[in-house]
Structure 1
Amino acid sequence: MPQSASAPRAPVHRGAAATGGVTGPGSGAPGAGELLQLLRDGRPRTRAELARLTGLARSTVNIRVDALLASGLLAPSGRAASTGGRPPTRFVFNPQARVVVGADLGATHANVALTDLTGQPLSEVAERVDISAGPITVLDWVVATIRRLLDEADKDIEDLVGIGIGLPGPVEHSSGRPMRPPIMPGWDGYDVPGHVRHHWDVPVLVDNDVNLMALGEHVMAHPEVDHLLFVKVATGIGAGIISGRRLLRGAVGAAGDLGHVVVPHASDVLCTCGNTGCLEAVASGHAIIKHLTAAGVPAMTNRDVVALVCNGNTPATQAVHQAGRTIGEILATCVSLLNPELVVIGGSLAQAGESLIAGVREVVYGRSLPLATAHLQIVPATTGIQVGVIGAATMAIQHALAADRVDEVIASASSPPITADG
């Protein structure tokens, strides 16, 4: 792994999250973390350019750049054109300095990826895993898979700076504990971060899988968009909300739970959550399969439904289109309320082509406020099956590379070791 300085590098993060910046005497390079935020855009810059951009004294920039070089988070990147004398060196963010893990756990699948510090997957494992097997079984599989990926990539604990995990149910993000998840028996209140941190003393962050899909799609496919609504249509239905370039989770992590919003014309349909009339009960993959089976059309999985639509099966195409219209009824309200620039439709049923999205567009554009839809685009997701692990990795990266946390680590690395003499 490339390093930019001969001094031993500092780990980016160890243990619990920092709670504030480091600015006191002997803190190494206070403000180096803020400088790193500027450089994370991947554009090489000289020390003089950084001084001009930040308004800092050249001596201050030198201290911060040197600290980031020693940590490995910054690397030399050639030389700028000379204006007289020796050409100045440019420096660039080094995403290969460390690795993070992103884990996307669905109802019946699990993807785990080792990524660099931009969220780009370096290696990945995808297997069929049943979330209903319970937290111990599933998380032990996750731990074993992470260990395998680290071993295969020849990485050790000092290379790993965080783990992000997405779960298919409501999550209290502050604690990482699932909260009454409808399809996850035995998971309610389980200490997911604690289970994983028993094996690695690094930050473990947990969130709802759709939130992380929204984060992954935003970062990889639509980084220029400030306001985005990601809707997953699969075995269940949910949404992730990006507003002002920030993921909105709500008071207890329940924001975006579209699947259990009541559809007025379906008041007699029982949902897995115990209520009746939920959107998920009438427009999810499970609901479409149930409808097709009753009509004599063989379909057992969402993949079967997608195959039927792609092969021109009329009942399947009509059922998926109607599901899109029903979802559009709920999204019309969301669009008027949240005013996103972009609605992205993802999940396994989005692979059915235009049938689903056409139904969504039809209703949203017809029922939402004209001001809200004047420039609104409704598009299919483009990141693919990796969107969940990329989002989970991005969550871990944002935590590990936050300015105050980088400052804390640089400060701890520059402090003299404690000896027996004190």
Structure 2
Amino acid sequence: MTTETAGAGALLALMRDGHARTRSDLVKLTGLARSTVTLRLEALLDRRWIVPAEGPVSSGGRPATAFTFNTGARLVLAADLGVMHARAAVTDLGARVLAERRAGIAIAEGPEKVLDWLIEAFTGLLAETGHTLAEVCGVGVGLPGPVSHGTGRPVSPPIMPGWDGFDVPGRLGARLGAPVLVDNDVNIMAVGEHWSTGRGTAHMIFVKLGTGIGSGLITEHRLHRGAQGAAGDIGHIRASAEAADALCRCGNTGCLEAVAGGGALAARLRAEGLDADTAWDVVRLVRAGDRTAVTLVRQAGREIGQVLASLVNFFNPGVIVIGGELADAGEHLLAGVRESVYSRSLPLATAHLNIRVSELGEQVGIIGAAVLVIEETLSPDAVDRSLT
């Protein structure tokens, strides 16, 4: 790779906004010499990172060729592994899902069984779409527990027996022949929601309300993982004093998850004689208009809102996004959350605060896992290395 093409990755970054641009456009944008821009464009064209746009662009003289980012240059394998479900998908470099597969496989069945299903699902999806592993630039995986960002290994996950310290990137990378990025599932959801619907928001909290409770933090448009990757674990913050005796699966009492998580709500509904085993069952009862379920979910929203109010005062987000299975309970849940947040937070912190349900729904994890890989693959340095 010549010195002139060493900055091709930075040029590609400019072209990822979806707009077709000519050589003259890029010369004006970058201030580079036309010959340098031409060399970098040729390098990107050679690896299919960009392609000629359909139809030449005319500004009154001879029509000039425009170029655009090629989202089909590579493929991404993305997975969202939950407590009781697994999703796998193939996407392009625009995070567009080309094919998807789902299964009701529990994370507690262990890493070998779950990851073997994932490998089989990925290879099957590639075959269905007429592609091969050679076209894959990376694999992104979300896990429902703490993950060391540096190693991609789960760290003491409370609901994932057999997963502690398991080499997830090594297992998948050896079978799929591509780099593997692993993160906590709520982190990838935060990334997916921000990338797809919230790029204009610099500070966001994504809250996942499912069997458990967690959050992902976006600050200055970037995912905030903390020193060890444990940032955002709000499920084990102590809830209200009334819930002090509630036993949590982490071993402590009074945790928010033990009071307002989908598993805890289902257990309380069972105690009332209702048929509820999962967070989905809680939502089903709410949608059916069951008064006990509606009252319970609204109160859970208040408990969650009390914890979020502290985060709002401390972090001052512009948006709080509610996702996960319980988000489908709709306004009954949101009403409780908003009631506590707006009554317990500073007026300045809530003046322009938007609290809403995820716009991506159940696909948010898949999109986020894909985006992790896309941003890594398309970083200027990575693109420059691909041209050597």
Letter in 2 for 1:91: F
Alpha-carbon distance change, 44 to 357 in structure 1, aligned in 2, over 3 angstroms: same
Q: What stretches of structure 1 of length at least 5 have no aligned partner?
A: 1-24, 412-422
Q: Which residue of 2 aligns with 1:316?
A: 293
Q: Which residue of 2 aligns with 1:40?
A: 16
Contact 1:164 1:396 in 2 (8 A): yes
Contact 1:328 1:360 in 2 (8 A): yes
Q: CA deviation at 1:28?
A: 7.1
Q: Which residue of 2 aligns with 1:349?
A: 326
- Which residue among 110, 127, 135 is the counterpart of 2:111? 135
Q: Which residue of 2 aligns with 1:296?
A: 273
Alpha-carbon distance change, 136 to 27 in structure 1, aligned in 2, over 3 angstroms: farther
Is 1:59 the counterpart of 2:15 in the alignment?
Answer: no
Q: How does 1:228-267 map onto structure 2 within 5 Å?
A: 228-265=204-241, 266-267=243-244
Moved over 6 A (4+): none
Give the whole-Å Cα distance in 2 for the aligned partners of 1:200 and 1:383: 28
Q: CA deviation at 1:277?
A: 0.9
3-state DSSP class of the match of 1:172? Answer: coil
> 1:165-218: per-residue Cα shift (whole Å, max 9, x none)?
000000001100000001000000110000001113321000000111111111
Q: Which residue of 1 aligns with 2:58?
A: 81
Q: Which residue of 2 aligns with 1:171?
A: 147
Q: Which residue of 2 aligns with 1:180?
A: 156
Q: Which residue of 2 aligns with 1:367?
A: 344
3-state DSSP class of the match of 1:199? Answer: helix
Q: Which residue of 2 aligns with 1:30?
A: 6
Give the whole-Å Cα distance in 1 for the aligned partners of 2:96 and 2:313: 34
Q: Bigger shift: 223-232 or 202-211?
A: 223-232
> 1:270-315: per-residue Cα shift (whole Å, max 9, x none)?
1101111111000001111111122223322222211211121111
Letter in 2 for 1:32: A
Letter in 2 for 1:122: L
3-state DSSP class of the match of 2:52? Answer: strand
Q: How does 1:397-412 map onto structure 2 within 5 Å?
A: 397-411=374-388
Q: Which residue of 2 aligns with 1:15?
A: none
Q: CA deviation at 1:224?
A: 1.8
Q: Which residue of 1 aligns with 2:77?
A: 101
3-state DSSP class of the match of 1:229? Answer: strand
Give the whole-Å Cα distance in 2 for the aligned partners of 1:279 and 1:178: 22
Q: Which residue of 2 aligns with 1:118?
A: 94
Give the whole-Å Cα distance in 2 for the aligned partners of 1:116 and 1:141: 22
Contact 2:119 2:176 in 1 (8 A): no
Q: What is the root-mean-square deviation in Å for CA atoms of aligned residues?
A: 1.1
> 1:295-349: per-residue Cα shift (whole Å, max 9, x none)?
2233222222112111211110000000000000100011111111000011101
Letter in 2 for 1:67: A
> 1:82-122: per-residue Cα shift (whole Å, max 9, x none)?
432x2111100010111101100001100001000011100
- Which residue among 367, 373, 377 is the counterpart of 1:390? 367
Using the size of structure 2 for normalisation, the TM-score is: 0.97
Contact 1:333 1:368 in 2 (8 A): yes
Q: How does 1:158-237 map onto structure 2 within 5 Å?
A: 158-237=134-213
Q: CA deviation at 1:27?
A: 5.8
Give the whole-Å Cα distance in 2 for the aligned partners of 1:303 and 1:242: 27
3-state DSSP class of the match of 1:393? Answer: helix
3-state DSSP class of the match of 1:215? Answer: helix
Q: How does 1:327-346 map onto structure 2 within 5 Å?
A: 327-346=304-323
3-state DSSP class of the match of 1:114? Answer: strand
Q: What stretches of structure 2 of length at least 5 have no aligned partner?
A: none
Give the whole-Å Cα distance in 2 for the aligned partners of 1:52 and 1:175: 42
3-state DSSP class of the match of 1:344? Answer: strand
> 1:2-54: per-residue Cα shift (whole Å, max 9, x none)?
xxxxxxxxxxxxxxxxxxxxxxx746710000001110001000001001001
Contact 1:28 1:410 in 2 (8 A): no
- Which residue among 261, 266, 270 is the counterpart of 1:284? 261
Q: Bigger shift: 189-198 or 298-307?
A: 298-307
Give the whole-Å Cα distance in 1 for the aligned partners of 2:262 and 2:181: 29
3-state DSSP class of the match of 1:65? Answer: helix
3-state DSSP class of the match of 2:156? Answer: coil
Give the whole-Å Cα distance in 1 for the aligned partners of 2:280 and 2:240: 28
Give the whole-Å Cα distance in 2 for the aligned partners of 1:307 and 1:340: 31
Q: CA deviation at 1:149?
A: 1.1
Q: CA deviation at 1:223?
A: 2.2
